[in-house]
Amino acid sequence: MVNLDVMTISFEWTDEHKIIREAVRDFARTEVAPKIPEMDINQEYDRKILEKMGELGFLGVSIPQKYGGGGMDYISTAIVSEELEYVDTALRVAISVHNGLNSMGIYQWGTEEQKMKYLKPQAEGKKLAAYGLTEPNAGSDVAAMESTAKKDGDNYILNGSKIWISLAATADNILVFAKTDSSKGHRGISAFLIESGYKGVSSGSHKNKLGVRAGNTGFLNFDDVVIPQENLLGEEGEGFKIAMSCLDNGRFTVAAGSVGLAKASRDAAVKYAQERTSFNKKISEHQLVQRLIAHMNQGIEAAELLVLKAGWLKNIGRRNSRETAMAKWYATNVASQAADDAIQVHGAYGFSAEYPVERFWRNARGARIYEGTDQIQEIIQGQYAFGFRQDKPLRKDLPPYNPDE
């Protein structure tokens, strides 16, 4: 149903949006893009690139200035995500976990002390942050997690392990989830802010991944890690809610990034189609090739609108779990199909690392698994449709965009 009291539509980018897009585009396409093919082939991760992103303000773009961020709206985070993933998914994954899953979670749920101690250096790009939810025996089924955090005087003692954690082997700070009461299912999960330097934290990297090979993905082990009480994020038992609200922020960046990946696939296909000839004409003149490009554009424009709608809801402080999940589900599939069709346009050359589209295809695949698989997004939409799931207010919603904060 259309809500008339908030129906203001503008497709104009603000000056701020244009400036941030230009800055990210220049950095990603000029400085980073030439390094990516080799990094991808050799599975090399370079922390210096993320440090530079921090210096340029991309790691705290929508965090208020008083907490070290850029003080821009949530659409700006989408622009950063889109422009980075136009060049490589690994760059956008860093935004998803550092900004979306960790920093915005602290902004939403943290105490003033936690924001000053952890959020500020993260938003300033001085510290890198990760999000540790997935475990060897618990992915989609978060409540099946086995990590525990037992109260011990003024501390918690953390034991367990996490896998498939982006930036695991390089992050300074980690938002980690563990059970404080194993008898209560998802209501027994709590969230903690920990540092990778804490005694008992160890990490390593996954090798030979299908995609995101220029980024770090790895595991974390916790062996009697002592966490001070003040590092509990939110309240005991609120971990599941916190994890899901962080996913509302992370999925938004995945959706926006997928728009960038789809555009990169489309642009590569258009360029190639204007160079290659068959049957004495440019392949761009074959209507079946044009159809592949037309479908890419159809998906890109619809995905972009879903991202903008979710970003607008965030800007005005409305719950957007359904809309963000929809944007993530749709945009990641658009990117996956666009990359697949871009390979088709390239013929056998698309099957080779000589052109970027095979990397786009491998990278696009992961986004249909992480931050909630296709099936989980589909279940979310089904549950909303039947009223099994509703947007109830959280104890703490993401604050609306406030340029004066």
Ligand X SMILES: Cc1cc2nc3c(=O)[nH]c(=O)nc-3n(C[C@H](O)[C@H](O)[C@H](O)COP(=O)(O)OP(=O)(O)OC[C@H]3O[C@@H](n4cnc5c(N)ncnc54)[C@H](O)[C@@H]3O)c2cc1C
Tokens representing 182 are 């194993």
Closer to ligand X at the Cβ: 134 or 332?
Answer: 134
Point out the catalytic residue in the list 82, 135, 323, 371: 371
Please report, as residue ranges, which positions from 119 to 158 form the binding site for ligand X (by CB under 6 A). Answer: 131-134, 139-141
The least distance separating ligand X from the CB of residue 306, rounded to whole angstroms, comes to 21
Closer to ligand X at the Cβ: 253 or 320?
Answer: 253
Binder of ligand X out of 165, 178, 313, 325 (CB under 6 A):
165
Closer to ligand X at the Cβ: 169 or 296?
Answer: 169
Computed on alpha carbons and rounded to an integer, the radius of gyration of the chain in Å comes to 21
How far, in Å, CA of 195 to CA of 213, rounded?
25
Residue 71, by phi and psi: left (phi above 0), alpha (psi -120 to 50) or beta? left
Residue 105, by phi and psi: left (phi above 0), alpha (psi -120 to 50) or beta? alpha
Assess whether 31 carries a catalytic annotation. Answer: no
Q: Which residue is nearest to ligand X (CB)?
A: 139
**Which part of the chain contacts ligand X (CB under 6 A), choosing from 2-10, 33-41, 52-60, 160-168?**
160-168
The least distance separating ligand X from the CB of residue 220, rounded to whole angstroms, comes to 10
Binder of ligand X out of 42, 182, 375, 390 (CB under 6 A):
375
The least distance separating ligand X from the CB of residue 363, rounded to whole angstroms, comes to 9
Contact status: 369 vs ligand X (CB under 6 A): yes
Contact status: 174 vs ligand X (CB under 6 A): no
Contact status: 401 vs ligand X (CB under 6 A): no
Q: How many residues bind ligand X (CB under 6 A)?
A: 21
Query: Which amino acids are annotated catalytic?
Result: 371
- Write out the residues near ligand X by the rule CB under 6 A: 97, 131-134, 139-141, 164-166, 212, 217, 366, 369-371, 373, 375-376, 379
